Copies of this chain bind each other. A is one copy, B any other.
Amino acid sequence: MSRDTSLTPDDAGSSSTVGSVGEFGLIARVTAGRTYPDTVLLGPGDDAAVVAAADGRVVVTTDMLVEGRHFRRDWSSPRDIGRKAIAQNGADIAAMGARCTAFVVALSCPADLTVADAEDLNAGLWDEASRAGAAVVGGDVTAGDHLVVSVTALGDLAGASPIRRDGARPGDVLAVSGPTGASAAGYALLAASVQGHPDLRAAHRVPRPDYDAGPAAAAAGATAMCDVSDGLLADAAHLAAASGVLLAVESARLPIPSLLRQAATELGVDVLDWALAGGEDHALLATFPDDDALPPGWTAVGRVGEVGDVGAGTVTVDGTEWTGARGWTSF
């Protein structure tokens, strides 16, 4: 947990390293001058932080980003990495129908990481935490060979029931909160060193979850919901398995921006591969009792069906059981 921030950091320039200013010097720098919302009852600097949980319950999720696995420092700036680490955790809070209240961050970094880079990473954490309506209330910094950013997000349900993955019922409408595939497209462009398409490349570096979409879906009566992190079909399969249903996706209804289609044509790939199998956009996937229930911004992309002869967890695309790439796996 963050330590005493009253310790004075060394008077080192921006070219100094994390190793030279030390753990306490770095923490003093990254917490200096921050202001906290009223819901942060005790911020960084003690053994632990204290955050309001007015609802009497707290939603909690954790996700770790590892250098070389979830990001490349030659593709992503430290600020991008910080934003991404917060975004993917904040999206998990939104996927329960909750709003983010606080983040804590544990960071392992090489001692030769510059203080400037560490401060940029911290700025990214704070930027995205602010976008999510919350603050970074504590953390830990330690030495390690690689950059590892581990974030835990807390959220508040404001009296609502959490929207789980297991509530989808046959007849429900399947919907997404926004387009999927931009992160996969950005990855493909970066990997192929194809120029142009700055928006898609940025989408890979920094997902931009709509943190309001989750609570809006909950208020609209969503029956099940999850974050699309592994790919639309992969996450649909998780939701279908948890709910004991089949999910039938209609590809023609997927929201696919024209710039995504253009990039797919340029690279000679099927745009549906990106939209259906690409992960890390952190759109939300949810089921609703009927079409009229969808909140603004959500798009119906299919229907919840009976399992019938196929197994629970089956996902079909245009009536055919999907057998292609189901998205990203960790190992």
B52 touches A56 (CB 8 A): yes
Q: Does B142 lie within 8 Å of A330, measured CB to CB?
A: yes
| A245 located at the interface, meaning its Cβ lies under 8 Å from any Cβ of chain B in the complex | no
Is A189 located at the chain interface by the 8 A CB criterion? no
| Interchain CB contact under 8 A, A62 and B23 | no
CA distance A241 to B53 in the complex (A): 30
Return the CB mask of A148-190 against B: 1 if under 8 Å, else 0: 1010111101000010110000000000000000000000000
Q: Are B108 and A66 in contact (CB under 8 A)?
A: yes
Of B47, B50, B104, B238, the contact of A152 (CB 8 Å cutoff): B104
| Contact across chains for B47 and A241 when beta carbons are under 8 A apart | no
Q: Which chain A residues (76-112) contact chain B, with CB distance < 8 Å? A: 92-93, 95-96, 98, 102, 104-108, 111
Interface membership of A278, Cβ < 8 A: no
CA distance A24 to B48 in the complex (A): 31
| B51:A57 contact, CB within 8 angstroms | yes
What residues of B have a CB within 8 angstroms of the CB of A56 in the complex? 52-54, 56
17 contacts between A and B (CB under 8 A): A18-B331, A22-B329, A23-B329, A41-B57, A42-B162, A47-B225, A48-B155, A49-B59, A50-B96, A58-B58, A60-B104, A64-B140, A64-B148, A66-B108, A66-B148, A69-B142, A111-B331
* A interface with B by C-beta (< 8 Å): 1, 3-4, 6-7, 18-19, 22-24, 41-42, 45-64, 66, 68-70, 92-93, 95-96, 98, 102, 104-108, 111, 137-146, 148, 150, 152-155, 157, 162, 164-165, 225-227, 238-239, 241-242, 313, 329-331
Q: Could you tell me the distance in whole angstroms from the C-beta of A104 to the nearest C-beta in chain B?
A: 4
Taking a contact as CB atoms closer than 8 A, the residue among B68, B142, B152 that contacts A66 in the complex is B142
The complex places the Cα of A234 from the Cα of B64 at a distance, in Å, of: 30
* A60 partner residues in chain B, CB cutoff 8 A: 48-51, 102, 104, 137-138, 152, 154
A164 to B225, CA, bound (A): 39
Most-contacted residue by chain B among A107, A144, A148 (CB, 10 A): A144
Could you say which residues of chain B place their CB within 8 Å of the CB of A107? 64
Residue of B nearest to A53 (CB): B53
* B residues near A139, Cβ cutoff 8 Å: 62
Chain B residue numbers with a CB within 8 Å of A64 are 106-108, 140, 142, 148, 150
Cα distance A6–B240 when bound, in Å? 11
